[in-house]
Structure formats: C-alpha cells, structure tokens
Chain A
Amino acid sequence: MATILEMRGITKEFPGVKALDDVNMRVEAGEIHALVGENGAGKSTLMKVLSGVYPHGSYDGDIVYDGEVERFRGITDSESRGIIIIHQELALIPLLSVAENIFLGNERARGGIIDWHETEARAADLLARVGLSENPKTLVDDLGLGKQQLVEIAKALSKDVRLLILDEPTSSLNEQDSQKLLDLLTEFRSRGITSILISHKLNEISRVADTITVLRDGATVARLDCADGIDEDDIIRAMVGRALDDRYPDKIAHATDDIALEVRDWTVHHPVHADRRVVKDVSFTVRRGEVLGIAGLMGAGRTELAMSLFGRSWGRDITGEARINGAPVDISTVRRAIDAGLAYATEDRKSYGLVLGDTVRHNVPLARLEAVADGMVVNRRREGEVAERYRERLNIKSRSIDQDTMDLSGGNQQKVVLSKWLFADPDILILDEPTRGIDVGAKFEIYTVIRDLAAQGKAIVVISSEMPELLGITDRLYVMNEGRFVGEMPTAEASQERIMAAIIRSGERTA
C-alpha cells in the first residue's frame, strides 16, 4: 500500500504550552487509521494542523500528502485536496434541510442561482451512499444525532473526499448507530477512501482499525499495527504508560470520618431532551479533609452531576437527596448552594468562570461580595486587600490586581477562579478539570493548594480526565461512565489500567 499522508516532526506551541512536540504520523492509502490518546494528548491539535485550521507557518514540521509537501493556509485548502474533517460538535445548520446542509458553501448553482432540482437529486444519491433513507428536504433538526452524523459524512462525500477524519464520531451515538457508522467506514475502505478515526472507545478501534497512532502529552509514543494481534490492554498501556514522578505534592492523608457531603440517588435529565437521563442514580460521599476524585471520559456526566448539585445550574427534573454535614440542605439555587457551603469551580473558565473584561480585583470577591462591603457599599480598600492577598497566596502573575483577567495566561486565569472560590470559603469545593490547558508549573501550584485545603479540613471533589492527576492528588476515586458511578477505589489501590478497565467493562455491559 502507498502512503497517503505523512506528518513529520510536527511541533505546535501555544503561549506557555507546547501542545505538540515532534509528532510523527503515517497513514497508508485505503486504511482505517486510529488516533488515540488521553484528553489533552494533542489529537485535536494535530488534526487542526492537518486540516489547515492552524495554517502553515504557525507550526513546525512537514505535512506530506499524496507525495507533496502541503502548505495549507486554511480549511478550504485542505478540503480542495480531499481532506475533510468531521468534528465532534457537528457543523450542521439545524434549521436548513439535509440537502441545503450537504451543499452549504458548495452550492449546486449556475451564476449564483441554485439549481434545486440537481441539489436534491445529488443529495439523494449521497444519502443512499451513506445508507440514510431520508427525504433531502427534511430539516436537520428533525433528525437524531446518528442520522446527523451520516449527513455530515454525506457532505464530506459531496466534496470528493479522499481522507476522512472523524473526531469522536460515536461519542454521542447509541450502540446501534455506532455500529452502522463503523460498518460504513469499512465499506469506504473497500472503495479506497482512507479514514482517520479519533476515538476513546477502544473496543471500536480494535474492531475496525488497521493501524493505530498513540499520542501522549503531545508526542507520538507508539505506532501499532493491528495485524500483529494487539488487544485493548496494549493500547491502554501505550496511552497511559507514564510514571508518576514528583509532579505532585506529597500526599499526607487528612481525611476524617466526618462526612461533609452525602448525595443519594441523584438523577438528572437533559435540559432539552427531557427523556434522556444524563446522571443516573448516583450516590456518593466525601469526608472532611478528603480529596475525592471522579474519573471518566468526556461526556460521562461528571460536569452535569457537579453543576446540577450546585444550585441546579444544569439539567431538569433533578431528583435525589443531598446532605451537608449530616443535615438535609436546600441547594436549589446557586446562592443557596454557596450559603450551604458548596462551591463549584468550572471546567470552562472563560465561559463560566470569569468576567474576562474585568479586573482581578473585581473577579476575586464576586461570589462573596458582601464580605468586602459595608452594607451596600463596596469597601475598595478591603476589596483590594482581598485581591492582593489571593494574588500573593496563589502566585497569580499579573501586572497588578487592576489587570483585566482576559490578558492573563490560562494558568493564572485558573488561579483567579480558584481565588474566587477560596474567598467564598466553602466547606465542600468541587473542582472541574482544575488544570485543563495550563502548564506544568502552574499545575503543581494548584495541586499544592488542593492538598493544603484538605489539610485545613475542607472536602474537595476533583473531576478530571487526566488520570495521572487523579492518581497523584486524590485520596479516593469514583469512576463514572454513561451517567453512572461504575467503580469506587482508594487511590492507593487504583491504577490507570484499573480505571480504564472499569470504564470499558461498564460500557460493554450496557451494550
């Protein structure tokens, strides 16, 4: 087989973070190539380099496609060469028809006038090729997610795709739709279309992939050939095979026997699709002085669980019981949740954590403004002192407390979010992906703060997709998958293999 794509020595840096470090990847023509790695390993970044989202010049290294070195300046360049990427978040316009979506930006038109007859006829052809029997005039909004995914693929086919990249295509599909999609990929293979499949679902990968590239921490760690008879364990080992060194502060156990937060039979429904249960009968406890971890893949329902606990900020038809320090509490609004001693630091600091256009001084006291005010009047001296105190304590690198938070690096922004919740002085602090997208040094500082808080008797819940991080800083772990808690283990007995195994076993059981 000929090599269709070779990415050589790709290095991509963002301010303060090296996202890709000398990554190599080779894809043969007409194969299904799987790209695996933990969240944050650099898979999406690599695909953005390939598709021209990060244009030539913004990275180092070469993309050799079909024997030529390519210099894509944007997504139109890569698409014109037959490289089509389908993102996890589908790029369809819900209120346009299937046919309109397929030819969006590529309209069947003469002199600017759309030929609807040809549009619909060709759309029908393409839909038949992906095995979707829907009227091309149907609105995309009226289709389920599985069918929408197929429409995306039909759209790719309309552009004469030669290399199809699918980013987590089955993450929101049910088993039947996933099966259908994978069958389609194998059919494409027989017709000579090459695919790159990014997926967390190792059972799917071992079923359809021919070769596998494994990324870890922005570097290629393995290229596995499925003809050699590899199994899921081999993939897992390659994905997570990294030793825990001193990237974590010393872990001294402070957990007491006092239960700070107890949640029983917590069930949450999707805010739009009310019949979908996103969190299913979850029960757990966290003790004072304990750092509890919740492991799981993206979309497992961890953020939804945390936000629904924190003042019902997510979901609808929430049922279950929450007790803080042994007593039932009212946490039905964010204000009440904060007053009850709960805090939630978001995974998405830019959208949900910070007022980006405002200063450090104004962001830090936001969740407990009354504490820096005399009655209704903000005492600017106290406000400044508070902001200054947390700037020093968490080592926030800013020109002054009067700098806007949007000008800070990700790690320092995260520290501002953390400062806000430390100042709110909760008993239970839920941290959702507290180190996402920040550099190693800032990570260590945040881990230290987390352990210090535990030493002060706070109960900490850490949600993270980085398993080494959970193993490094928590005392006890729950594993969550598809809305359920599927495993619980003391961190001392946990390993990445055990966590992964819990996830995969539970997935197979429900399948």
Chain B
Amino acid sequence: MSDIIDDTARAPAGEQARAGWRFLKTHLREYGILFALIAIMAFFQIATGGILLRPVNITNLVLQNSYIVIMAIGMLLVIVSGHIDLSVGSVLGFIGALAAVMIVHWNIPYPIAGVLCLAAGALIGMAQGFWVAYFRIPSFIVTLAGMLVFKGLTLWLLAGQSVGPFPPQFQLISSGFLPDIFAVEGMNLLSFLIGLAVALGLVALAIRTRQSQARVGRPEEPFAFFAAKTAIVFFGIVWMSWLMADFRGLPNVFIVMALLIAIYAFVTGRTTVGRRIYAIGGNEKAAALSGINSRRLVFLTFANMGMLAALAGLVFAARLNTATPKAGATFELDVIAAVFIGGASMAGGVGTVVGAVVGAFIMGVMNNGMSILGIGIDYQQVIKGLVLLAAVIFDVVNKKKG
C-alpha cells in the first residue's frame, strides 16, 4: 500500500490543503453528483421513515429504472458526440410492440425474437444516424421525426390494442433473480458475494490506476479525495448488495445493467473509439483535421443508441408483461434529463457514463421517494424539472468561475 500513499500525501499540510481546494474547484461536479445522490437518498430515507432503503424497495427502484439507465448509457454517447436523440421513447415502445407481435402472434421463439428486435433497434438507429452523420441534418429534427414515426408504427403494429402476455421465460428478463445456489436461510448469498467481488474489483482497479498515474507524474487528485471516493463506492456497493441479497437477490436486469455500465464506462474512458467520440463532441473540426472519421463515429453512436433503446424496450415489455401502444411515451425526456443531471454538456464533448447512471438514479430515487411520501404527480413533475434546471445552472456557473 505504501506507494499508493504517494507524494501528494507526504506534502506539507498547507500545500495539501491548497492542492485539495484547487482540485475540488475544478472537479466539483464529479464529486457533487455523487454527494447529491447520497444526500437525496439520505433525505428520503429519513422522510419516508426508512422505507426507501428497505430491501424490497431498493429492488423495485432498480427494476423501475433499469430501462432508463440502459438508454441513458446510449444517450450519453449521443450527447457527448454533440447530438441528441428524441426518438428513444418511441423506439422503446415500437420494439416492445414488435417483440409482442413476433412472440405472441407469430409464435417465434423468444430468443430469436429478442435478437431480431435488437437488430431492428440498431437498424432504426442507423437510419436516423445516416441522415445526421452523412447529410448533416440536425439530430434534433431527424429524431423528432423518428419519434413521431415510431409512435405511429407502434400503434399500427399493435392495431391500437395491448398485446400479451409473454411466455414466462421472457418475463424473467425483468422479473427474474439470480439463483440462490448456496441456499442459506434468509438471504441470497451468491448475490452478496457477487456484489462483494465487484466492489473489491473496483477498489483494486482504482488503486492500480492511481499507481500507474503516480509512475508517470504526480496524480492530480489529492490522496484524501481518492481514499474517500473509493471507500464510498466500496461500502455503497457492498451495502446495496447486502440489502438486495436480503430480499430475493440480484435481479437479472441488474446484472445486465451492471455489465453495460462496466462495458460502456470502459469504452468511453479507455478506448480509442471513446476518446475520438469525446474529441468530435469537443471540437468536430479539429477532430476531423486530426484524421478522425467523425461521420462514421456519429453514425455508429446512433446505431448503438437504437440497439440500447431496443434492449430497454424488451426489458420494459417483459416487466409489464404486455406491449401497449402508450409504452415509452416521454421516456426520452427522463433519459435526456438523467444525462444532463449527470454532468454532460449540451455542446458535446463532456460527460461520463457513470455520471449519467447516477443522474438516472437521482431521478429514480426522487420519483420513488416522492411516491412513497404520497406527493402528487403534479408536484413531482415540478420538482424534477427544477432539479434538472438547478443541476445545469450549477454546471454553467461553476464553469464560468473556473
């Protein structure tokens, strides 16, 4: 451990404090979002008299927000590249309808139907991305058109009726849990162990990253911040998995979500493709003059968004156990709000997958907490709107001062 406590920790206290303050000023947003989530959870935990963090409610919270989180990951990429996708809610509804028609009416086996639906989603994304990337039609317009088109096609596919139910195996996408192979009384030990392993893995990864930073130069993040952040993440995950293990274990969709978060966090943060998407969003002209094929990448970003919207569509349909013509309406707004609350910039080039996920959970916890408190849907909308505005005002003001 000795080389983790590096130079930054050995420097004199005054200098440490100054460095810490400077670091905090430039990275206020990244920590702010995490603390905001913790503060909001603490508030509702107290206000609801402990209902919020009950195992059953936590599990519900994850299930309720899974499709928003899945789409927020794709939307993060779209917004980082400097665009927007308004069609995701309609695409989610359309794919749900497509799955229902294929499985229920045409009796296509659900795994095949699922794959076909994901492919259809990717195709929809490509169709929209094509115009955005290669013809420079503003994404706002293209996807607004897409929103109307797929809303209409959903109605047409379902002939205005709800279609369902799905076979039980298909429902397991959203209602299934990890099997309890250890059969310990009162808890799903496998789920807890997975949570513990993930938490340990994240800590190990953070330490390794910091060590390799220390080898090249002095890490900018003061040690105290590093330690606090890592500890919060570790105990947070362990505690959550403990709570969920206490109910029925980790939901299947939680595993899917966690994998997607891990994969996309890696792709955006560590791969050449991710780096290039940030460069395009940050300054498309400079990126193009650096030999980056911005058009192809924007195209792929939309294709990916379509596929993730399709996945969210399957999850949502499985959760309701039926496809309805109204499915997905206004989901795009929740998804986009989550990404912006998570620190992404409308101008592009800024934002993280983890931020978008935390943003989605901030919205989710507020929905859930306010519903438990019996606050009307009217006030809920107002409060969510104000939180979005506050988060973005905070961003802009913070940037100006910096």
Contact = CB atoms under 8 A, between A and B. Distances in A.
Nearest to B402: A407
A355 B278 contact: yes
A354 B283 CA distance: 7
A351 B291 contact: no
Contact of B290 (A366, A378, A385): A366
Interface stretch (B180-188, B211-219, B320-328): B211-219
A355 B349 contact: yes
A378 B217 CA distance: 18
A356 B282 contact: yes
Given A358-B279, A369-B276, A380-B270, A310 B289 contact: yes
B105 to A, nearest CB: 41
B215 A381 contact: yes
Contact of A334 (B279, B289, B350): B289
A294 B95 CA distance: 59
Contact of A378 (B215, B270, B350): B270
A367 B212 contact: no
A199 B216 CA distance: 52
A354 B293 contact: no
Interface residues of B, number: 30
B2 interface: no
B289 A352 contact: yes
15 contacts: A311-B289, A334-B291, A335-B292, A346-B286, A346-B289, A355-B349, A357-B283, A362-B278, A366-B292, A369-B275, A370-B272, A378-B272, A380-B209, A380-B212, A388-B217
Contacts of A400: 217-218, 220
B282 A358 contact: yes
7 tightest A-B CB contacts, nearest first: A355-B282, A384-B216, A367-B290, A335-B291, A338-B291, A334-B291, A366-B290
B394 to A, nearest CB: 17
A367 B290 CA distance: 5
Contacts of B278: 355, 358, 362
B259 interface: no
Interface of B: 209, 212-213, 215-218, 220, 270-276, 278-279, 282-283, 285-293, 349-350
A87 to B, nearest CB: 23
Given A377-B270, A402-B220, A355 B283 contact: yes
Contact of B286 (A338, A353, A377, A385): A353
Contacts of B216: 381, 384-385, 388
Contacts of B220: 400, 402
B287 A377 contact: no
A492 interface: no
Contacts, number: 94
Nearest to A310: B289
Contact of B289 (A313, A369, A376, A401): A313
Q: With a 10 A CB-CB cut-off, give which of A311, A355, A388 has the most chain B CB atoms.
A: A355
Contacts of B292: 334-335, 366
Interface in A374-433: 376-378, 380-381, 384-385, 388, 400-402, 420
B272 A357 contact: no
A311 B291 CA distance: 9
A384 B283 contact: no
A252 interface: no
Interface in A317-371: 333-335, 337-338, 344, 346, 351-358, 362, 366-367, 369-370
A313 B213 CA distance: 37
Contact of B282 (A357, A370, A384): A357
A354 B289 CA distance: 10
B288 A313 contact: yes
A373 interface: yes
A400 to B, nearest CB: 6
B278 to A, nearest CB: 7
Nearest to B218: A400
Given A354-B286, A355-B283, A358-B278, A401 B215 contact: no
Contacts of B289: 310-311, 313, 334, 344, 346, 352-353
A311 B287 CA distance: 13
Nearest to A362: B275
Contacts of A401: 217
A357 B291 contact: no
B285 A352 contact: yes
Nearest to A337: B291
Given A355-B286, A381-B212, A367 B349 contact: no
Given A311-B291, A334-B289, 7 more contacts: A351-B286, A355-B283, A366-B279, A366-B292, A367-B291, A378-B274, A400-B220
A233 to B, nearest CB: 40
B218 A378 contact: no
A356 B283 contact: yes
A335 B271 CA distance: 19
A110 B266 CA distance: 62
B26 to A, nearest CB: 9
B272 A369 contact: yes
Nearest to A382: B216
Interface string A273-311: 000000000000000000000000000000000000011
A310 B289 CA distance: 8
A34 B273 CA distance: 53
Q: With a 10 A CB-CB cut-off, give which of A313, A338, A378 has the most chain B CB atoms.
A: A378
Contacts of B350: 357
A378 B275 contact: yes
A166 B18 CA distance: 50
Contacts of B286: 346, 351-355, 366
B287 A376 contact: no
A313 B220 CA distance: 37
Interface in A110-162: none
A362 B270 CA distance: 11
Contacts of A356: 282-283
Contacts of A388: 216-217
